[in-house]
Structure 1
């Protein structure tokens, strides 16, 4: 009975609303609609939030600067996150640098790491996953286009808890950090220096004074030789004496020929 009353009241209200004369223009009806009221409420909320942010920044500038720095750093990390194409380009660049060197000069660690990555890339087993602020490169067991049962079966796939054991590189702020560390001193073969004494195996960078001295000597080597005046006069006097001695010898030879 109560449900019937509720239904009758709803029908009566609908009939009265439909029979009521339409007043106002279409723009006024649009402004009074539920969508317009919701949009005005949303804009008001955003306006109040922006005003609170500005007021809070003026009251606590240090806290606001820290928050803005964190937001800016997060955006920069997200924007400079490297992708798969960047990793392949960096890998090929490093492989080309090592290819220009003789096998006797290459660093064994750098060469072995690059060769293993190139082999995985040729086999299609390199995977790059994006984690928002950074990217991870890990190795898979099979190529994604392989149609083997082991590659297609989801129950035989590598679980996520073993992903850290397969990670090969980390991309952050536009750089692949493991690859950069492996390529450090890639043109120095440490195996060639194992026969040297211990104090000769480790080298230290030159000091500032040694670098300045080397640069000064290098610049001086390109300057023309400066001959002093005293040395020039001495050389001229020696030449005159030599010429006088030669003339006297010639004169003596001529006299001996005449007498003979």
Structure 2
């Protein structure tokens, strides 16, 4: 934190020194190049002022700055570890391969039922992926995207937003698809 504050303290001095060294040639005055240079100069001044304000805000309330930094860092970490549809397929294949190695008498029927349902959704083209930045959802729809039945186009027959939780197949968060993990953690224990 102190390194960041020292860097922010040095920035305005460096900008002031640079401002005195840069001069615009007389032959370009009044042209579009001068307007373009003024735009970038004013943008640079705005960012300089923003850094000065940031420095004073950090010095005035370091606890608030720490909380904001922690929140932003947490959001970035969650976004980087957000699982994709490829991760979902990969975890399904990995679990399916492990289940195949266990004899049928030892397999958990709930795990097998879940894996077969997800496989059927993929075969019918009913499963979809949606990312929310820090978390992802795999959900099913009523009809395939290529379906051209009346049911697929009628607004009165489309599912409501309240029925969405019942159509969720899996929830991805922190690099893991949790429903697949929970339902298949004991795939080799017949209950």
Q: TM-score scaled to structure 2, two decimals?
A: 0.76
Q: 2:28, 2:34 within 8 Å by CA — same for their partners in 1?
A: no
Where does the alignment leave 5 or more consecutive residues of structure 2 unmatched? 1-24
Deviation at 1:175, TM superposition (A): 0.8
1:62 counterpart residue number: 63
Q: 2:138, 2:169 within 8 Å by CA — same for their partners in 1?
A: yes
Q: Distance in 1 between matches of 2:88 and 2:189?
A: 24
**CA, structure 1 residues 152+92, in 2 after alignment: closer, same or farther (shift >3 Å)?**
farther
Q: 1:139, 1:168 within 8 Å by CA — same for their partners in 2?
A: yes
2:3 counterpart residue number: none
Q: 2:82, 2:174 within 8 Å by CA — same for their partners in 1?
A: yes
Q: Distance in 2 between matches of 1:178 and 1:70?
A: 27
Q: Distance in 2 between matches of 1:72 and 1:177?
A: 23
**CA, structure 1 residues 27+34, in 2 after alignment: closer, same or farther (shift >3 Å)?**
closer
1:125 counterpart residue number: 126
Runs of 4+ deviating beyond 6 Å: none
Deviation at 1:133, TM superposition (A): 1.5
SS in 2 for 1:128: strand
1:148 counterpart residue number: 149
Q: 1:30, 1:36 within 8 Å by CA — same for their partners in 2?
A: no
1:139 counterpart residue number: 140
Q: Distance in 1 between matches of 2:129 and 2:74?
A: 23
1:195 counterpart residue number: none
Q: 1:105, 1:189 within 8 Å by CA — same for their partners in 2?
A: yes
Q: Does 1:52 align with 2:45?
A: no
SS in 2 for 1:103: coil
Q: Distance in 1 between matches of 2:100 and 2:59?
A: 58
1:96-132 deviations in Å (ceiling 9; x for gaps): 1111111111112212111111111111111111112
Q: Does 1:186 align with 2:177?
A: no
Deviation at 1:31, TM superposition (A): 8.2
Q: 2:171, 2:179 within 8 Å by CA — same for their partners in 1?
A: yes
Where does the alignment leave 5 or more consecutive residues of structure 1 unmatched? 1-23, 191-260
**CA, structure 1 residues 148+32, in 2 after alignment: closer, same or farther (shift >3 Å)?**
closer
SS in 2 for 1:105: coil
Q: Distance in 2 between matches of 1:165 and 1:76?
A: 29
Deviation at 1:30, TM superposition (A): 4.2
Instruction: Map 1:68-217 onto structure 2 (within 5 A).
Output: 68-190=69-191
Larger Rg: 1
Q: Distance in 2 between matches of 1:170 and 1:40?
A: 47
Q: Distance in 2 between matches of 1:58 and 1:104?
A: 66
Q: What is the total number of aligned residue pairs between the two structures?
A: 167
Q: Distance in 1 between matches of 2:27 and 2:136?
A: 54
